[in-house]
Amino acid sequence: MARALQSVAITITAGVFGAIFGTGLILSHMVDPARVAGFLDITGDWNPSLAFVMGGAIVVAAPAFWYARRHQQALLGTPFDLPDRFRITWQLVLGAAFFGIGWGLSGICPGPGIVLVASLTTPALVFFATVLIGLRLADFVKHR
């Protein structure tokens, strides 16, 4: 019974924080590929707003990472599984390359892309389908 309650608490917590994250992306207009492209256009009409969003994310995430590095498990009892910050693997390089290629081709970053799925537009649904395919492919390669 305690394990079932813990699972429910984890699911509810993940849902609440996911909703907060999604709301933040919407309020900061980071679900707009044109705004993100404006940030990446450093030689043209550069839009620095994404830098401020990233800075805010770092401020919010820093205490959580500080806690995770000093404890074995989260407050709800699940163990932490942090990657080695100094080890560069072929999986990391390949994943980063696919991330960048996908972002460059679609103009949509995965976090905002998941939020965009709620719009039910064709680009958002195609993007999300390719993310799911990529996740399955990564899982397949990892277990071979």
Structure token digits, residue 118: 């709620």
What is the residue-wise DSSP string for 47-83? -THHHHHHHHHHHHHHHHHHHHHH-SB-TTSPBP-PP
pLDDT score for 59:
94
Q: pTM surpassing 0.95?
A: no
C-alpha pair distances (Å), 69 with each of 57, 75, 92, 126, 132: 18, 13, 20, 37, 30
pLDDT score for 16:
92
The H or E element that residue 84 is part of is none
